[in-house]
């Protein structure tokens, strides 16, 4: 009787907890279909928007035909334009009766803002004068030079002795330094200023970023004639200015300096990239006037500011080079 009860009890326990060891229920993984992700095709074009303004004045220019290769769009009343362009380098040409034709190269690799500017032919712009000051057409009417100018703040080294070792007087050195410091900003519409100024008996000839100012008794340097006050290499970096200070009183400013501030500003103008002009009131007039004022004339300042808004190598009428750096041979001008 006890055995029967024991077996029944065991059977009941087996039914509750199981006999012969634990069992494991298999896990069934749900079916997940394989998904292939196909990447979106890489973009091959982008939207380019911008605004056309006047280089000389900053006002919006409407009605400008802007050609991006075969496609042309017109700027609206606010100077705004938009175009979808293929990726790559594109030549952009701006034309209108109110501007000098302009050509630049733009890179398109994403949607971007592309501000453009062009020279307005109204508001006092004089293309004949611009070509004199920037293209050398006063001295060489049949050949127009590409733009030469400085692209960084120049450092200036002022020699304190001449080529035979004679010490220059302090009044002359002080006057020349003061003029050079002010005239760099005036000639470049404030875009450049003197980075460093040194005086000494050495030289910085051939050192990039420096303009070396030298004094000559016309023993070493031989200018075209005895009335020449100085010479400079036009727009070159490194730069050189030579002053011929013995012999001709007209190159001086009485009681001030061996080199008139106007002569200093004239030669600095050459060093910064400017040529001779036809106006007697211009600092860049080739013959010295009995005037000690170093300030460029209003038209010189206005047109020089345009030049310092253009890259080196810009050519007539207003075409930028395809490369950012454009190498040009140096030219010395008296």
- Max distance between CA atoms of the chain, in angstroms, equals 150
Radius of gyration of the chain (CA): 37
Alpha helices in 76-144 (DSSP H): 127-135
Burial of 70 (0-12, 13-18, 19+ CB in 10 A): exposed
The pLDDT score that the predictor gives to residue 249 is: 65
The pLDDT score that the predictor gives to residue 36 is: 74
CA–CA separation, 298 vs 247, rounded Å?
32
Q: Which two tokens stand for residue 278?
A: 């036809």
Burial of 232 (0-12, 13-18, 19+ CB in 10 A): buried
Q: Does residue 311 contact residue 324 with C-beta atoms inside 8 Å?
A: yes
Burial of 254 (0-12, 13-18, 19+ CB in 10 A): exposed
> Where exactly are the structural domains of the chain?
45-123, 155-333
The pLDDT score that the predictor gives to residue 147 is: 97
CA–CA separation, 156 vs 76, rounded Å?
46
For 266, which DSSP code? H
CA–CA separation, 285 vs 312, rounded Å?
23
Cα 226 to Cα 86, 165, 188, 277, 334: the distances in Å are 61, 21, 31, 21, 12
Count Cβ atoms below 10 Å from residue 331 Cβ, excluding itself. 15
CA–CA separation, 99 vs 87, rounded Å?
28
| Architecture label for domain 45-123 | Sandwich (2.60)
Element (H, E) at 178: helix 170-187
Q: What pLDDT, in 10s, does the model give residues 268-290?
A: 999 999 999 999 999 999 987 67
Find out if CATH 3.40.390.10 is the number for domain 155-333.
Answer: yes
Distance in angstroms between the alpha carbons of the first and the last residue of the chain: 138
Q: What pLDDT, in 10s, does the model give residues 132-158?
A: 999 999 999 999 999 999 999 999 999
Measured N-to-C along each axis, helices 170-187 and 298-307 cross at an angle, to the nearest 10 degrees, of: 60
CA–CA separation, 277 vs 297, rounded Å?
11
Q: Helix, strand, coil proportions of the chain in percent (round to 5)?
A: 20, 25, 55
114 Cβ contact list (under 8 Å, min separation 6):
48, 49, 50, 92, 106
- For the chain, residues with pLDDT lower than 50 are 1-17, 19, 324-327
The pLDDT score that the predictor gives to residue 28 is: 61
Torsion of CA 90, 108, 105, 112, to 10 degrees: 130
């Amino acid at each position: 009787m006890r055995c029967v009860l024991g077996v029944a009890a065991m059977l009941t326990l087996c039914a509750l907890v199981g006999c012969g060891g634990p069992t494991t229920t298999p896990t069934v993984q749900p079916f997940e279909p394989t998904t292939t992700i196909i990447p979106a095709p890489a973009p091959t074009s982008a939207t380019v928007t911008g605004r056309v303004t006047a280089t000389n004045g900053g006002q919006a220019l409407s009605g400008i035909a802007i050609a991006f290769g075969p496609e042309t769009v017109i700027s609206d009343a606010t100077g705004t334009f938009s175009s979808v362009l293929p990726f790559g380098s594109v030549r952009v040409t701006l034309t209108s009766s109110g501007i000098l034709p302009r050509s630049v190269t733009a890179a398109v690799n994403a949607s971007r803002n592309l501000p453009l500017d062009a020279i307005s032919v109204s508001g006092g712009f004089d293309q004949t004068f611009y070509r004199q000051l920037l293209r050398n057409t006063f001295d060489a009417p049949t050949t127009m030079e590409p733009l030469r100018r400085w692209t960084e703040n120049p450092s200036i080294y002022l020699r304190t002795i001449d080529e035979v070792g004679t010490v220059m007087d302090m009044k002359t050195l002080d006057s020349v330094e003061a003029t050079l410091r002010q005239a760099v900003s005036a000639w470049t519409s404030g875009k450049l200023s003197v980075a460093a100024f040194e005086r000494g008996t050495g030289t910085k000839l051939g050192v990039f970023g420096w303009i070396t100012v030298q004094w000559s008794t016309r023993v070493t340097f031989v200018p075209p004639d005895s009335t020449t006050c100085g010479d400079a290499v036009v727009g070159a970096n490194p730069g050189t200015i030579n002053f011929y200070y013995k012999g001709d009183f007209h190159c001086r400013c009485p009681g001030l300096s061996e080199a008139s501030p106007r002569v200093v500003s004239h030669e600095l103008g050459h060093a910064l990239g400017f040529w001779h002009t036809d106006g007697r009131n211009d600092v860049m007039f080739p013959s010295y006037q009995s005037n000690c004022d170093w300030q460029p004339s209003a038209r010189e300042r206005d047109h020089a500011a345009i030049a310092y808004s253009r890259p080196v190598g810009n050519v007539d009428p207003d075409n930028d080079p395809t490369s950012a750096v454009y190498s040009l041979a140096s030219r010395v001008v008296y």
